[in-house]
Amino acid sequence: MGAAGAFGVNETHGILWQETNRLRASSDGSGWTSLYASAQREAPYQASYGAVPDHLVVLHLDGPVSVSRYLDNGQARRAIPPGGLFILPGGVDFGVRLEGKLESLHVYVRDQVLREVASELFGAEVDAMKLVPRLGDQDPLIERLALNIRGALGDADPSASVYVDYLARALSAHLLRAHSSYDGRSTEPRAPGELTRAQLDRVVDCMEAHLTRTLTLADLAGAANLSPTHFARRFKATTGAAPHQHIMRLRLQRAQRLLRETPRSIAQVAFECGFSHQGHLTRVFTRLAGITPAAFRRASHS
């Protein structure tokens, strides 16, 4: 489940292939389908790139550093501080000159995801909501979403793909609302409805059946016969939690049951509940339950 259509570095502009870059982490091999992300140390360079269909957001993690951007309508140059953004819509040729060293995060959002969000949340064709190039602007919500994406890089948790799909749609919605040319009467997303009991039951059954395997938002949405964007919003409206948060709760419940009712080792419990290793289970268990797995087992048997 979920790995078809993985978004790889070969679909990006190729900025990451600069020989002087030092890659910190990337989503290559993760199976992510809705976005591509990489964190790197960039050295000064100048280059031109042909268009790709997907949309690029670069978050500057340090600085300030001066960047020049070249588009058909001319050149712009800014000294970009930490938290500054470089936003480039898909379908645009561009040139760039980086004048200093930079720790950066690159996030490419699938054009298909942006179109889905434009249609289903705003009732607009994406061609009426073209993203606007930005150079040096700051946007706290985009920064927070991007940092959450960076935090998921290298995460072997099977629910990471669901989380990233969710973040991709949240990022798309905000880009369309705050950084597009849409001039409709309202750019506020339509209020979500709730899942029916039958839909919710099918989704939870899907989650429980695949707790140890990689799922995507599309897998869960399919169980509810909804698009991923509509599903994510309706699931949260119904349960009060995002899908990946509910999956983690189900894993915790299974781990508690196994710790209480079986003699399995904590490492085996971690494996059977979809955690990458015992330490991963311990971190999540302690954060959500306020107690370590070992202490929970002792308390259950006292």
pLDDT of residue 118 exceeding 70, the answer is: yes
Mean pLDDT of the chain, nearest integer: 91
pLDDT of residue 296 exceeding 70, the answer is: yes
Higher pLDDT, 2 or 212: 212
pLDDT of residue 18 exceeding 70, the answer is: yes
Q: Which residues, listed in sequence order, are joined to residue 49 by a DSSP beta bridge?
A: 94
Q: What is the mean pLDDT of residues 131-160?
A: 92
Query: What is the pLDDT, as a whole number, of residue 157?
Result: 76
Tens digits of residue pLDDT in 187-204: 555 667 899 999 999 999
pLDDT of residue 184 exceeding 70, the answer is: no
Q: What is the mean pLDDT of residues 215-230?
A: 92
Q: What is the mean pLDDT of residues 235-242?
A: 92
Q: What is the mean pLDDT of residues 67-93?
A: 96
Query: What is the pLDDT, as a whole number, of residue 191?
Result: 65
SS3 42: strand
Query: What is the pLDDT, as a whole number, of residue 3?
Result: 39
Report d(CA 89, CA 270) in Å as an integer.
42
Q: Answer for the pair 215, 223: CB distance below 8 angstroms, yes or no.
A: no
What proportion of the chain, given as a percentage, has pLDDT over 70?
Answer: 94
Query: What is the pLDDT, as a whole number, of residue 185?
Result: 45
Amino acid making up residue 283: R
**Helix 243-261 vs helix 278-289: angle between axes, to the nearest 10 degrees?**
100
Domains of the chain: 9-118+133-178 (2.60.120.280), 197-240 (1.10.10), 245-300 (1.10.10.60)
**Helix 160-178 vs helix 243-261: angle between axes, to the nearest 10 degrees?**
160
Query: What is the pLDDT, as a whole number, of residue 120?
Result: 85
Query: What is the pLDDT, as a whole number, of residue 4?
Result: 47
Beta strands in the chain (DSSP E): 22-26, 35-42, 45-49, 55-60, 65-71, 74-80, 84-88, 94-98, 102-109, 134-138
Unique residue bearing structure tokens 């997303």? 189
Query: What is the pLDDT, as a whole number, of residue 227?
Result: 92
Query: What is the pLDDT, as a whole number, of residue 126?
Result: 59
Q: What is the mean pLDDT of residues 249-277?
A: 92
pLDDT confidence band for 213 (50 / 70 / 90): confident
Out of 5-14, 100-109, 139-148, least confident range: 5-14
Report d(CA 251, CA 268) in Å as an integer.
13
Q: Answer for the pair 290, 252: CB distance below 8 angstroms, yes or no.
A: no
SS3 142: helix
* Predicted TM-score of the model (pTM): 0.87
Q: What is the mean pLDDT of residues 40-45?
A: 96
Query: What is the pLDDT, as a whole number, of residue 47?
Result: 96
Report d(CA 227, CA 267) in Å as an integer.
37
Unique residue bearing structure tokens 């058909």? 72
Q: What is the mean pLDDT of residues 87-107?
A: 97
Q: What is the mean pLDDT of residues 31-41?
A: 95
Q: What is the mean pLDDT of residues 199-215?
A: 91
Q: What is the dihedral of CA 282, 288, 289, 290, to 10 degrees?
A: 80
